[in-house]
Structures are given as structure tokens and as C-alpha cells.
């Protein structure tokens, strides 16, 4: 049977000016082949500089502008742009204005390494209570 969701009923996660709503993850779909959801960043919010071992990563920007930093430098991105981050590529996303994008990671059997920041950067507060730790 098809999996049909209503965004308002899905778990919302918050971390340092960022909001994440998964619609495909182990908790919801019982699969670990992929991780997908939407992200909202407040202006100035940023991910830590990090990398994912064994994981391809995509962003599709729907609203707002941001910069993507990787080992080659920093580039500005905006609506309609797709960003592909190969496995183990160091990266950071920073919102220049309120940002809304779709995120897809596969497989969902990866390890995140924070390169600039602390282990607390892997903690996301669940709006309905509790904490989700990014692996």
C-alpha cells in the first residue's frame, strides 16, 4: 500500500534556527534505504561543517538563498537549484535569507562527522518531546 502523509502530522525537529520534517525515515517507513524530508532555515542559520560517510546527499532549493561551502570554496544557491554532495564530501549550508528546501540522503545507513562544532550539533529537539540524534 502507498504511504500517504500529511506534513502537519509528521515529527518536527528543531536545532539552532533550523527545522526538519522527515517524510521518509526508519521511524515512519521502516526502511533505511533513504532519508528524505523538508528543511526550513531562519536567516543566518547554518549546519555545522560536516561530512557523511557512505551517503550521497541532495538539496533542492525551493525558496530563499543560501551558500554551500565545500573544500573548493563557497557558492551562492537559490530557488530551482539542485546541490549534489558526494559521500564523504565536507560541506556546510548557510541561509542568507529564510530558506526552504527538500533534502534526500541515501542510503540512510551513514555516519555524520562534525568537523567544526560539537557533538551537540547532532542533537535535534522533537517538537512533540524528546531528542533525535543524527547518526
Contact 33, 108 (CB under 8 A): yes
22 contact partners, CB below 8 Å, separation of at least 6: 10, 11, 13, 28, 35, 36, 37
**Residue 81 to residue 12: CA distance in whole angstroms:** 24
Determine the pLDDT at residue 83.
97
Q: Is residue 4 part of a domain?
A: no
Query: How much is the pTM?
Result: 0.90
Over residues 36-70, the pLDDT tens digits come to 999 999 999 999 999 999 899 999 999 999 999 99
Number of domains in the chain: 1
**Residue 111 to residue 134: CA distance in whole angstroms:** 8
Domain CATH number, residue 64 = 2.60.120.10
Question: Which residue range forms the structural domain that includes residue 21?
Answer: 11-133
Determine the pLDDT at residue 135.
66
Q: Is residue 120 part of a domain?
A: yes
Asked if omega into 107 is within 30° of 0 (cis), the reply is yes
Q: Is residue 46 part of a domain?
A: yes
Q: Is residue 1 part of a domain?
A: no
Q: Residue 74 pLDDT more than 70?
A: yes
Q: Is residue 22 part of a domain?
A: yes
Amino acid at each position: 500500500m502507498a504511504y500517504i502523509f500529511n506534513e502537519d502530522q509528521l515529527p518536527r525537529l528543531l536545532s539552532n534556527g533550523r527545522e526538519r520534517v522527515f517524510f521518509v525515515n526508519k521511524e515512519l517507513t521502516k526502511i533505511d534505504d533513504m532519508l528524505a524530508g523538508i528543511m526550513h532555515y531562519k536567516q543566518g542559520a547554518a549546519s555545522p561543517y560536516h561530512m557523511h560517510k557512505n551517503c550521497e546527499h541532495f538539496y533542492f532549493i525551493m525558496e530563499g538563498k543560501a551558500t554551500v561551502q565545500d573544500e573548493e570554496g563557497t557558492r551562492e544557491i537559490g530557488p530551482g537549484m539542485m546541490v549534489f554532495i558526494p559521500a564523504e564530501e565536507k560541506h556546510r549550508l548557510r541561509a542568507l535569507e529564510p530558506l526552504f528546501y527538500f533534502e534526500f540522503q541515501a542510503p540512510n545507513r551513514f555516519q555524520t562527522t562534525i568537523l567544526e562544532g560539537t557533538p551537540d550539533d547532532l542533537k535535534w529537539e522533537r517538537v512533540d518531546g524528546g531528542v533525535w540524534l543524527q547518526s
